[in-house]
A and B are shown apart, each in its own frame.
Chain A
Amino acid sequence: MSRRWLVRRIGVAIVVLFVALLINFILPRLMPGDAADIYATAGRMTEQERMAIVQRFGLDQPLWTQFTKYIVNSFQGNFGYSFTYYPSTVMSKVVQALPWSLFLIINAMILQVIIAFILGATSAWKAGGKFDATTQALSLALWATPMFWLAMLALYFFGAQLHWFPIGGQATAAANYSSFFERIGDYYYHATLPIAVLVINQFGGYQLIMRNTMVTTIKEHYITTAEAKGVSERAVKYRHAARNAMLPMVTSVGLRFSLAVAGSIFTEMIFNYNGIGRLIFQSVQMRDYPVLQGCFFILSCSVIIANLLVDILYHRLDPRIRH
């Protein structure tokens, strides 16, 4: 991996981050009213507290100064206070919620990739066959299904009707875990439905990429070589073809991370899962702009970082570009 490549890649990430901050900076200032109200809801704060915020964010100063102060504050993790939960800071709300969202997203993405790997490889193995047609039709149909609706149905049938899974929350309330495994088990028990909905709705995208790459991969000469070697069909399919065909799918994880983020907003909202998504939903309802912006920023950050990590991983996975 060349250093130049890495530097360039990080440069892009920083620019995008900057744009996210810029959006956050500009939007509230386009609204009518006092700029200080962005950070301090009228009436909830004492005049003293209000002045402290005006001071800190330079709200009585020219726009340029405001901007530089905004950037500095952002990098210190200071995004002001929540309207609804004052005096909680935006950062504290976001930091509480983020791990839960990442828990959902990462688990879901791993499962999606595994399912897509197997289904994509299998449907391409006999491209144009019945299995191929069925999986393609099915994954397109699931992709076109609104995530939140799927979540509502899952909650209703498996939660409310069948009582197989809890109908909300991310952990049993006031639970006393006797061991680490019990804790993790409880987390997964609560996350099963949200993760399942995320996986079902979104694996299709990966599957399509996997399948299409696999279709071209199995025409490669080295697949013929592997077959000629007398290796079992399974080994040819997975060890030789799918292993090569998975690279584009793995790279797409970076770009599709933001889709998973979008999906988690809906699932968390429906399942009352206290992650970033639910925080966003609550902030939308309460018009809690600072928290909303904080969430947007933190999600942008995670997407950017995920993109970066995947690009680096891709360089590791494909020996051809490693040098």
Chain B
Amino acid sequence: MPLLEVTDLRTHYYTEAGPVKAADGVSFTLEKGESIGIAGESGCGKTTVAMSLMRLIKGGAVVGGKIMLGDLSLLDMEMDEFRKVRWERISLISQAAMGALNPVYTIGSQIVEAIRTHQQCSKKEAWDRARGLLSQVKVDPSRVKNFPHELSGGMRQRVMIAMALACDPDIVIADEPTTALDVVTQVQVLRLLIDLQKRLDLALIYISHELSVLGQACDKIIIMYAGKIVEMGPTAKIFSEPKHPYTQKLLGSLMDIHAAGAFPESIPGQPPDLIDPPKGCRFWPRCTTGEAICETEEPALVEIEPGRFVACRQLNKAINE
């Protein structure tokens, strides 16, 4: 049994113009100690998936699907029960540089709060643990009484990571953890995260719009487009032989620093309106190889080889034939 099993997850946001179908039938599994990356353009629903796992959707709701953590059905739990799952089982690393830490409390007290919410221990123990966590993420433990604004962006991100590890969770969701950092710090934070994931045998869901980052951090990659998974598979395979036209374009848009003078290829067009998405394949309007049938018939996510899923009618057709 996988650690986490997401089946047909549907999350809508409510707007005046109608519900925005931000996640529309997302399914995947996550094993213990496995790291999985979710990539896609902004607005493709990758953060929505993460927030749905934490049941933190605001201005909308999870309208369908199932999320199983072991034998717990997360979406069916009472909120009071579910709060115990948060952080204890699944924790979240968000962009600390963008204000994910509360400015009026010291970083120590914020870590202590996380510990003492879930575990019975004395204040002193909790503070000691907080110091320990800080040294684990290579932040000087004496900084425990500092306020977030007294730390650099990179340090804040490390604190955020330390906080996420405070209750020994099974799954850590990292939502664009390095995005707002400068390149050097990005690399350091990323290394730290990878290192900790390996060492603590964490299951990691890494969300980023940068495929290159996911390539370093993850065992498995999910490519999302307009609220749906278009391709999913082992990292090496995704990079070496991308199947879906969107994945191919996404990889094509990566800046290849070795190919001097070659500008990255951009994908023409805009992602579709998710209030009233296209009837058929959602990528069809931007796809260069699409056929007439793609406009009306929605492609299913099909396993083309073990652990490798693609949602493209042309590929599936090729395989079926």
A-contacting 9-mer, from B97-105, B218-226, B239-247, B303-311 = B97-105
CA of A227 to CA of B114, assembled, Å: 10
B312 at the interface (CB under 8 A from A): no
A234 CB to closest chain B CB, in angstroms?
11
Determine whether the beta carbon of A222 is less than 8 Å from that of B117. no
Interface residue tally on A, bucketed by range? 20 to 34
Number of A-B contacts (CB under 8 A): 70
Determine whether the beta carbon of B118 is less than 8 Å from that of A230. yes
CB-CB under 8 A from A318, the residues of chain B are: 104
CB-CB under 8 A from A221, the residues of chain B are: 94-95, 98-100
A238 CB to closest chain B CB, in angstroms?
12
Determine whether the beta carbon of A228 is less than 8 Å from that of B87. yes
Q: Which B residues from 189 to 205 make CB contacts under 8 A with A?
A: none
B56 at the interface (CB under 8 A from A): yes
CB-CB under 8 A from A232, the residues of chain B are: 83, 117
A146 CB to closest chain B CB, in angstroms?
38
Closest to A223 in B: B102
CA of A323 to CA of B103, assembled, Å: 13
Determine whether the beta carbon of A230 is less than 8 Å from that of B86. yes
CB-CB under 8 A from A319, the residues of chain B are: 103-104, 147, 149
Number of B residues contacting the other chain (C-beta, 8 Å)?
Answer: 29
Closest to B173 in A: A228
B229 at the interface (CB under 8 A from A): no
CB-CB under 8 A from B102, the residues of chain A are: 222, 225-226, 240, 244
A315 CB to closest chain B CB, in angstroms?
13
Given contacts A228-B91, A228-B92, A231-B117, A222 and B56 within 8 Å (CB-CB): no
| Chain B interface residues toward A at CB < 8 A | 54, 56, 79, 83-88, 91-92, 94-95, 98-104, 113-114, 117-118, 147, 149-150, 160, 163
| Chain A interface residues toward B at CB < 8 A | 220-222, 224-233, 240, 243-244, 317-320, 323
Show 15 residue pairs from A and B whose CB-CB distance is below 8 angstroms, ordered by the A residue.
A221-B95, A221-B100, A225-B92, A225-B101, A225-B163, A226-B102, A228-B86, A228-B91, A228-B94, A229-B87, A229-B117, A229-B163, A230-B83, A231-B83, A323-B150
